[in-house]
Amino acid sequence: MAILIGLIPPIIILAIGWFGYTTHSVEPAEKKEKGKRKPIKTQVVELEVQDYPTSILTQGNSRPHNVIPGPKSVSVMSTMSPNNNQHLGTNS
């Protein structure tokens, strides 16, 4: 009896789905042609080869995507002696 109660809901759901499919599935009607399409109107303009001015209107600041920082300014230059532990020109 418990197995029968467990099988009834899926059978009812399948029956409702089959009924909905059979009632709502209709063969598509043939499409009627609406008439001839109008041709696209075009206009050909020949351009002369020359430098054309370009202008870009923007709002806000314009910044590059990648920024490569320049070298930092050095305030004190020191030289290395052959002995790596001693710096010439500095007080140690």
DSSP 11-52: HHHHHHHHHHHHHH--PPPPPPP--PPPPPP----PPP-S--
Q: Is the pLDDT of residue 92 over 50?
A: no
Q: What is the pLDDT of residues 26-71, one digit of tens each?
A: 776 676 667 788 888 999 988 888 887 888 777 777 677 777 776 6
- Binning pLDDT at 50, 70 and 90, where does residue 73 land? low
Q: What is the pLDDT of residues 8-21, one digit of tens each?
A: 999 999 999 999 99
Q: Is the pLDDT of residue 79 over 70?
A: no
Residue 76: the pLDDT is: 56
Q: pTM of the entire structure?
A: 0.30
